[in-house]
Chain A
Amino acid sequence: MQNSLHINPDSCTGCHQCVLACSDRHGDDFSPIKSRIQIFRFEDEGRYVPYTCTQCEEAWCQKACPTNAISVDGNGALIVSDAQCVGCKVCTIACPFGTINYNADTGKVIKCDLCGGAPACVEACPTDAITFVNSSTTGFDKMRKWAAKTDAGSQPSA
């Protein structure tokens, strides 16, 4: 059974440990701008929302890729092959969630890869706002559940 990231913004304190851990794990020298997980801060509501890819089952990024550079690994994560990615960025506009981004330093796109099954963000989170849980649900079910937690408090329509 595969695990997926489960995000509970109500528990997020905005400490950014996940962001730092993510960029460190991916060799980006604690550069928050290159973290695959982002924290959005909603000042009016005093709310923080961790935000990253939900590994869609039918993934727009993967379909739009012209060089077959995006594949699904054994953990159900959509991963980018640096050898095959040409940096065309079509996936970055095709993904309607905006969770695959271009890294100008490497000329490749980057996205959450679930760290090969042991996500650094989960390990780093001191408040269990990000957990890695069993999931036998489909990508969209996963996403809907996840969305319910991350919609800045609002429930998604079915």
Chain B
Amino acid sequence: MFGFLKRLFGFADNKQTGSTQTGSSSTSEPKLSLSPSDSEKRGDQIHAEYVIVGAGPAAVCAAETLRKNDAEGTILMLAAEDAPPYSRMAIPYVLTGLISEEGTYLRGDDDSLGKKAISVHHAKAIALDPNSKSLSFEGGGGCSYNKLLIATGASPIKPPVEGLDLPGVHHCWTLADARAIADKAGEGAEIILMGAGFIGCIILEALVSRGAKLTVVEAEDTMVPRMMNTVAGNMIKLWCQNKGITINTSTRVTGVSQGTGQLDVAMDNGTSKSVDLVVVATGVKPNIAFLDGVGIDMDEGILVNDMLETSISDVFAAGDCAQGPDFATNGNSVHAIQPTATDHGHFAALNMVGNKASYQGSLNMNVLDTVGLISTSFGQWQGVEGGENVELIDVDNFRYTYLTFDGDCLVGALTLGRSNNVGVMRGLIQSRIKLGGWKDKLLEDPNRLAEAYIACRQ
């Protein structure tokens, strides 16, 4: 199994070839042919061996893996936003006050990437020319590459509802959004949160912790419908309602208009509400529009193979913008989660330096803490044809375990109220561990997951 995990994550091929990962004193420190600021001034092209478009977790993981495996090659990261490389999934904790904005920076100490000779250039790529292997930047200038990684992430979607462009309506996606929300979401503020999906529920927790009076509006009939089944989704809903949060499922916002001092929000259940802030969390789409017309294969995201290669040679893609191999379905999916972004970044980098490494595909998985109720979801929890399922419900204590099997392998899992050893569900599923006699034991008591994992590992 360890051999498998090793292949799965490609670590076997991970040679360390240089000293640059530990400091900047190396004499062979890679240099860009022009420093980014020079190039800006002169409108010249910067050249780097490796160019990464984006500065999120996929990009940073890729840059560090590149450096670990290639001590010499120049690495340039392009950051469209006005911040050092940061992790947007840490934003909710800026809103709860647990960390400052700096706490979201992926490599806290600004110089830590510099020490590895990874240059970060603040520019937005607006066009790719694969023939000249170059990118152009918004406002002029550009760069050329030997190998390119597109790691531009995703952007939130605005549903077609009147009034969502009004001031006071925000997404919760960037540090700039977080500042705007923090400004309005004080103690006692009335807020409508559109969308109770995974991201919506994380924001929900942050808004509640700020003392806001929250009304959640979700079009589907349960909470987190793409992460949980109806039973678990409704248990989460009940839990939230018990905490005084208004949850309107099977409800849509039909329009937002400017009232006096507040926003008036109309819903299709015939009611309306005056609020200080509307937060929109109704899904995201990959940032790939700048590639239209380039001839790169795209579907929902940029299509990549098991080596994270796109249809254009020397161009790779990783993270939320990439539609990569899906471990469970054998197709291609956009999983849009942090672990997939860093796994993609790691694998893309290994292949960019020429250490051929095949990625086994991403496993859709989430963990959520909804005002104190922890839920997890892994893989094909919807079940597979001809497979078996087992469900254990304890409604009073908000505990739930639901497992799905294909033959004698675990293929999916949902849990509520469980926080110990949850990772073994990934281990069991992604190592395709044959459960043998342990399958019957799990059908009898699905909570014996960790024991099953330890006993069956081979």
User: Within 8 Å CB of A140, what residues of B?
Assistant: 2, 6, 11-12
A86 and B99 within 8 A (CB): yes
- Verify B426–A158 contact, CB threshold 8 A: no
Contacts of B107 in A (CB 8 A): 68
Q: Is the CB of A97 within 8 A of B427?
A: yes
Q: Are A40 and B450 in contact (CB under 8 A)?
A: yes
A120 within 8 A of B: no
- Asked if residues A84 and B426 are in contact (CB atoms below 8 Å), the reply is no
Q: Is the interface of B mostly helix, strand, loop or mixed?
A: helix
Assess whether B328 is interfacial by the CB under 8 Å rule: no
Complex alpha-carbon distance, A152 and B422, angstroms: 20
- Determine if B358 is an interface residue (Cβ-Cβ < 8 Å): no
Q: A-side binding surface: helix, strand, loop or mixed?
A: loop
Q: Which residues of A contact B338 (CB under 8 A)?
A: 64, 66, 90
Report whether B453 and A98 are in contact in the complex, using a CB–CB cutoff of 8 Å. yes
- A89-B369, A156-B1 are known contacts. Are A101 and B454 too (CB-CB below 8 A)? no
Q: Which residue of B lies closest to A33 (CB)?
A: B420
A67 touches B454 (CB 8 A): no
**Shortest CB distance B15–A (Å):** 11
Please tell me if B103 contacts chain A, counting CB pairs below 8 Å.
yes
Choose one: B3, B9, B451; the contact of A58 (CB below 8 Å): B9
Q: Cβ of A60: which chain B residues have Cβ within 8 Å of it?
A: 9, 339
From known contacts A90-B367, A143-B2, A157-B1, infer whether A67 and B423 are also in contact, taking CB-CB under 8 Å.
Answer: no
Over the window 368-408 of chain B, the binary record of Cβ atoms lying under 8 Å from chain A Cβ atoms (1 yes, 0 no) is 01001010101000000000000000000000000000000
Please tell me which stretch of B86-94, B159-167, B177-185, B285-293 contacts chain A, meaning at least 4 of its Cβ atoms lie within 8 angstroms of it: B86-94
CB of A98 within 8 A of CB of B419, answer no
User: Which residue of chain B has the shortest Cβ distance to A42 in the bound complex?
Assistant: B455
Interface check B5, CB cutoff 8 A: yes
Q: Provided the pairs A58-B14, A151-B458 are in contact, do residues A84 and B103 lie with their beta carbons within 8 angstroms?
A: yes
A4 in the interface, Cβ–Cβ < 8 Å? no
Residue in B closest to A84 when the chains form the complex, CB atoms: B103
Report how far A94 CA is from B367 CA in the complex, Å: 10
B443 to chain A, nearest CB (A): 17
Within 8 A of B (CB), among A13-64: 33, 38, 40, 42, 49, 51, 57-58, 60, 63-64
Q: Taking the complex as formed, is B132 at the interface, i.e. its CB lies under 8 A from any CB of chain A?
A: no
A110-154 contact mask (Cβ, 8 Å, vs B): 1 or 0: 000000000000000000000000000000100110010011101
Residues of B within 8 A of A155 (CB): 458
A93 and B87 form a contact (CB under 8 A):
no
Q: Are the C-beta atoms of A98 and B421 separated by less than 8 Å?
A: yes
Q: Which of B61, B98, B431 contacts A63 (CB 8 A)?
A: B61
CB of A44 to closest CB in B, whole Å: 9
Chain B residue contacts of A93, Cβ below 8 A: 339, 365-367, 376, 378, 422-423, 425-426
Closest to A96 in B: B427
Q: Are B431 and A64 in contact (CB under 8 A)?
A: no
Pick the contact of B108: A33, A49, A68, A96 (CB < 8 A): A68
Contact status B11-A86, CB under 8 Å: no
Whether the Cβ atoms of B427 and A88 lie closer than 8 Å is no
Bound together, the chains give a CA A158 to CA B106 distance in angstroms of 35
Is the pair B346, A157 in contact by a Cβ cutoff of 8 Å?
Answer: no
Residue of B with least CB distance to A109: B419
CB distance from A71 to the nearest CB of B (A): 10
Q: Are A89 and B421 in contact (CB under 8 A)?
A: no
Judge whether A100 is part of the interface by a CB distance below 8 angstroms: yes
B422–A92 touching, CB < 8 Å: yes
Which A residues are CB-close (under 8 A) to B425? 93, 98
Task: Give the residues from 1 to 44 in chain B that come closer than 8 angstroms, CB to CB, to chain A.
Answer: 1-6, 9, 11-12, 14
- Which of B2, B419, B427 contacts A156, CB < 8 Å? B2
Q: With an 8 A cutoff between CB atoms, is B45 at the interface?
A: no
Contact B2 A92 (CB under 8 A): no
- Residue-by-residue, is B417-453 near A (CB-CB < 8 Å gives 1, otherwise 0)? 0011111111100110000000000000000001101
Given A67-B90, A147-B2, A104–B423 Cβ distance below 8 Å?
no
- List B contacts of A102 (CB < 8 A): 374, 419
Are A42's CB and B451's CB within 8 A? yes
A38 vs B424: C-alpha distance when bound (angstroms): 14
| B332 at the A interface (CB under 8 A) | no
Report the Cα distance A62→B4, complex, angstroms. Answer: 20
What are 30 contact pairs spanning A and B, CB under 8 A? A38-B421, A60-B339, A66-B90, A66-B104, A66-B338, A67-B90, A68-B105, A87-B98, A87-B369, A89-B367, A89-B422, A90-B89, A90-B367, A92-B367, A93-B365, A93-B367, A93-B378, A93-B422, A93-B423, A96-B430, A98-B424, A98-B427, A99-B421, A102-B374, A140-B2, A140-B11, A143-B2, A154-B457, A156-B1, A157-B458
Chain A residues within CB distance 8 Å of chain B: 33, 38, 40, 42, 49, 51, 57-58, 60, 63-64, 66-68, 84, 86-90, 92-102, 104, 140, 143-144, 147, 150-152, 154-158
